[in-house]
Structure 1
């Protein structure tokens, strides 16, 4: 089988969606299939829409690949909405997210209409989560589909229960945010939540130095922000200003982007992986952190609930709910609970399909479509 993998931008980009695309490409090749990667516009959404002016030419180029099936990353949907009706090759949408969910107001409405049109032009779809499939089918996506979720075994950490318990006893409470520092990821809400730890809770007290108490034991904490700060510098400045205004800037470290080895080192030292996104279509970073026995503080919006059991292997909080964030972090100040939830997180990671298993489901589906 020959697969044309159509993406927006550079497949070697560091984001989770592109990592998924690379794993899919490599698994297809491992199973003896030919893969041709076709890269379309990525600079901006309007620039992608402008591809409609050359839709016939792009359709001819995609058909010229000679593929048995075109697998189209959903992030390329603005470029493809006018192309697919002209393509003769069978098409499968590869949806990492519902793009309109990451936007607001009239922009969200406009993107949703374009996205809806794109989904009506494909023959089948592969989704990263059941939540993504439900949302897409409500927009008119084809019923022929499969869910092939991301896996968490990129680092394949060898972490024992004893090591998780030993780390849980260490202080301070190490909280890590991992992701591009953009508004959708909710770092502002996390910083607000952490700042409330300094002010204590209704039943606790604060010593004014970053320690609060709810049951007679002090809580010490530190937040490390790992991720690209160049995507939205104005947002980063707002978060830094909020931390300074709250008097906690000294407790927050921004590392910028790190390579995989450095990320793994950070997760080995982390108690809590906190990314309270406004929308997280799956949340691969949560699952990867769970492999290290880190407790995920994840969002209720998206696919995280499919592998995070709230209150058992992690916590799910609504977007922008700083009170809930502070409350869940206070609960993890109980080091026995931290150890139990870290162990449960590791067990959930071990029960989840590997990348090979998940990508095989996608490849099997492509073979069916091609036939």
Structure 2
């Protein structure tokens, strides 16, 4: 590990000091925010000292205490190709770097653990190089499932990610799908799968569901990658009322009375609303907005099925949430789900780009009560495998391996001197 810096303080065994360097954090919501929040809590429970360092996205105070964790919101300016962009970066960088250097000096982490590599990862890589801080990287699928396709557009981020993967003492991702992408496109050698987790304490209660009657439920940020437009197209073919059989031999009335509820908000909301109107589904498709986690769990518990129609899904925490709440699962096969969902056993895997196939999968799970019961039972048996404690334990094992090895090198160097 190159670079120079102040001497590192002696570490106390079992009391690791870890900076979780994330692309986003509360008050923003999403998969990486929830992952880092839960992991921070579990790491503290396992004896680590933890701070969260997040990209400053205009959250207000630059340091907060959230859930007993110090959260620092740090600036991450990057240069752009234009002369004006380079000039703006030159003005902003000294102050930004001073904030990162101060965070290191005040918290004195043993290790920086990047989550969802972006500008946060660029600055963590710089700390690694300048201060000899061990670096660990966890990808959350940002290279494969980003609506903005930032890695296709930014040569700087592509180069920084390659360098960080080469420099990191450990690299993890939630699925083999993501690890394989890092290997094939960004030069990763090795890599470890650490699946996502779910909070088993938030089980959900159908009696408290905010929605009545029979409904399908979809949950997530309203972005193109999540494929909610494909799900709305599939709902358009589930015609209400009696009618002749479709070409696939399934009664056209199947699923006709069931509604679709989509929970979440995001940039695609207006387009999805227009698509609902274009299909004449105003009475059968509800865009419910964002709900708190308990209400989502209750809504899942009351749903006939939870549908995840993503064009690409790095892992799919929603699948774990569906299992936890006792909902049948219809899940995209595009991404990491085939690595943990067993088709026909604990979920139905389908290619959502094939809208007819998506529609048929929905019909199967709506019409077949016994199938639903089998999927629900299998999901409930599987979900205890995916706890946040197990995620944190996997990370701690990496920390111990990295830092114990680092300490051994320090001792050998001291003995030689």
**For this structure pair, what is the TM-score category when the shorter chain's length is used for normalisation?**
0.7 to 0.9
Corresponding residue number in structure 2 for 1:85: 129
Equivalent in 190, 193, 205 of residue 147 of structure 1: 193
Deviations along 1:234-265, one digit per CA (max 9) or x if unpaired, are x2222112111212121111221111221121
- The higher relative CO (CA closer than 8 Å, separation ≥ 6) is in 1
Equivalent in 327, 334, 337 of residue 368 of structure 2: 334
Equivalent in 241, 246, 255 of residue 201 of structure 1: 246
Equivalent in 257, 273, 278 of residue 240 of structure 1: 273
- Checking the alignment, whether the CA contact within 8 Å between 1:129 and 1:149 is kept in structure 2 is yes
- Displacement of 1:287: 0.9
Equivalent in 302, 306, 316 of residue 269 of structure 1: 302
Structure 2: distance between partners of 1:6 and 1:48: 15
Corresponding residue number in structure 2 for 1:70: 112
Cα–Cα, structure 1 residues 358 and 56, in superposed 2: closer, same or farther, change >3 Å? closer
- Displacement of 1:122: 2.5
- Displacement of 1:79: 5.2
- Displacement of 1:40: 2.7
Corresponding residue number in structure 2 for 1:227: 264
Structure 1: distance between partners of 2:119 and 2:137: 9
**After the TM superposition, which residues 351-370 of structure 1 pair with which residues of structure 2 at under 5 Å, given as runs?**
352-370=385-403
Give the CA RMSD over aligned residues. Answer: 2.9
Residue 330 (structure 2) pairs with residue 284 (structure 1): no
Structure 1: distance between partners of 2:386 and 2:29: 22
Corresponding residue number in structure 1 for 2:230: 189
Equivalent in 134, 147, 169 of residue 123 of structure 1: 169
Q: What SS is found at the alignment partner of 1:38?
A: strand
- Checking the alignment, whether the CA contact within 8 Å between 1:195 and 1:246 is kept in structure 2 is yes
Structure 1 unpaired stretches of 5+: 164-170, 207-211
Cα–Cα, structure 1 residues 182 and 154, in superposed 2: closer, same or farther, change >3 Å? farther
- Displacement of 1:69: 0.8
Structure 1: distance between partners of 2:330 and 2:140: 21
- Checking the alignment, whether the CA contact within 8 Å between 2:122 and 2:160 is kept in structure 1 is no
- Displacement of 1:41: 4.1
Q: How many residues align?
A: 344
Structure 1: distance between partners of 2:40 and 2:142: 22
- Displacement of 1:357: 2.1
Corresponding residue number in structure 2 for 1:344: 378
- Checking the alignment, whether the CA contact within 8 Å between 1:6 and 1:76 is kept in structure 2 is no
Q: Which has the larger radius of gyration?
A: 2
Cα–Cα, structure 1 residues 120 and 267, in superposed 2: closer, same or farther, change >3 Å? same
Q: What SS is found at the alignment partner of 2:246?
A: coil
Q: What SS is found at the alignment partner of 1:296?
A: strand
Cα–Cα, structure 1 residues 119 and 48, in superposed 2: closer, same or farther, change >3 Å? farther
